[in-house]
Amino acid sequence: MASPATQQESTEMSNRNRHLSWLWSEYSVIIAFVVIFVLASLLNPRFLDVNNQLNILMQVSIIGIVALGMTIVMLSGGIDLSVGSVLALVGVVSILSLNATGSILLAILTAFIVGAFAGLLNGLMVAKGRIASFIATLGMMAGARSIALYIADGGSISGEVSSFTVIANSELWIIDYPIIIFLVMTGLVYVLMQKTRFGRYVYAIGSNEKAALLSTIRVDRVKIGVYSLAGLLVSIAAIIETSRLNSISSSSSGQAYELDAIAAVIIGGTRMTGGRGKVLGTFFGVLILGILNNMMNLMNVSPHLQGFVKGLIIIVAVVFQKRE
């Protein structure tokens, strides 16, 4: 029979292990970010240059906004494979609106309407049509890209209002507008998911949809709202991308954005099955991807290998999730 002292030591060790496990579960993405940041600083002194740091934030701003929408979708237990194609479609339609009216405001409103409508269709297929989100958004991915290609005749469309480029090419002090928009969107989505009833409902549905139904949560409405909001966030990212060069490519814009967004969300700790994850985790996941891409560029690593690195990171992140 174990002595009281031995039992106390065993209890303390068990409590310590649980505490360490909780710390890793809650802050693993931040720990990973710090480790990668320090390693990048040691490997290349140019990494810490202020302009390089701002360049990283600028590069991840579009994917970051898309990833925020993906986070909401995945927290609800779904997935959205259509984000890249919808971004291209929104860009094409907004440029057409800009050229037809000469109004930047109308072009932005058009982008919001098209993006939200695409998200609404995804939500209706998932919630009302009972179609698996993977299949529904896969169909939207093909459909949106096809429509964008048809409208633009398979090429690019350029804007005729030069002032439209102000959105993505201006700065406040030394911080570019896209970075500011990304940070503001992160704050707004964080508040939405952590401080509102809608956010609690999304977590509840992702954790246990049947229990959410029994708790009188309008699951269908929440799901429709989730995908519509994701589409709206894609439209914001599309405005920034289109504004950069005052043009959009119907064939290449948004390509593989769904992979980058999903990678950032999973690295940030959001479960593929839904119900668990944090917006701030996605924020740091996006930064980790940005740092890795930046380091590979600084070290002249072939761009063809970057997709391999992202895929490997996704697999490792999922393995760690299963061990929690």
Q: Is 312 exposed, middle or buried (0-12, 13-18, 19+ CB in 10 A)?
A: exposed
The pLDDT confidence band at residue 279, using thresholds 50, 70 and 90, is very high
Task: Give CA–CA dist 9/15, Å, rounded.
Answer: 10
Q: Which two tokens stand for residue 157?
A: 């469309």
Cα-to-chain-centroid distance, residue 258: 8
Q: Which amino acid is at 139?
A: G
Percentage of residues of the chain with pLDDT beyond 70 = 90
Q: Among 233, 208, 184, which Cα is nearest to 70's?
A: 233
Residue length, the chain? 324
> What pLDDT is recorded for position 220?
95
Is the Cβ–Cβ distance between 234 and 71 less than 8 Å? no
Q: Which residues contact 189 (CB under 8 A, 6 or more apart)?
A: 68, 71, 72, 233, 279
Pick from 86-95, 228-237, 274-283: least confident: 274-283
Beta strands in the chain (DSSP E): 156-158, 171-172, 175-176, 247-249
Supply the DSSP string of 172-203, one letter for each residue: ETTEEHHHHHHHHHHHHHHHHHHHSHHHHHHH
First vs last C-alpha separation in the chain? 32
Pick from 11-20, 209-218, 266-275: least confident: 11-20
Q: Which residues contact 300 (CB under 8 A, 6 or more apart)?
A: none
> 3-class SS at 274?
coil
Q: Which residues contact 5 (CB under 8 A, 6 or more apart)?
A: none
Q: What is the pTM of this model?
A: 0.90
The pLDDT confidence band at residue 209, using thresholds 50, 70 and 90, is very high
Backbone angles phi, psi at 275, to 5 degrees: 85, -10
Domain range summary for the chain, segments of one domain joined by +: 30-323
* CA diameter of the chain: 85
Pick from 96-110, 170-184, 308-322: least confident: 308-322
> 3-class SS at 132?
coil
Task: Give CA–CA dist 130/220, Å, rounded.
Answer: 10
> What pLDDT is recorded for position 311?
78
Task: Give CA–CA dist 68/181, Å, rounded.
Answer: 12
Backbone angles phi, psi at 137, to 5 degrees: -80, -25
Task: Give CA–CA dist 167/129, Å, rounded.
Answer: 38
| Angle at CA of residue 121, ends 274 and 109, nearest 5° | 105
CATH number of the domain at 30-323, out of 3.30.1490, 1.25.40, 1.10.10, 1.10.3470?
1.10.3470
> What pLDDT is recorded for position 7?
61
The pLDDT tens digits of the residues spanning 8-38 come to 665 666 556 565 555 556 678 888 889 889 9
Q: Pick left, alpha or beta for residue 302 (phi over 0 → left; psi -120 to 50 → alpha; otherwise beta).
A: beta
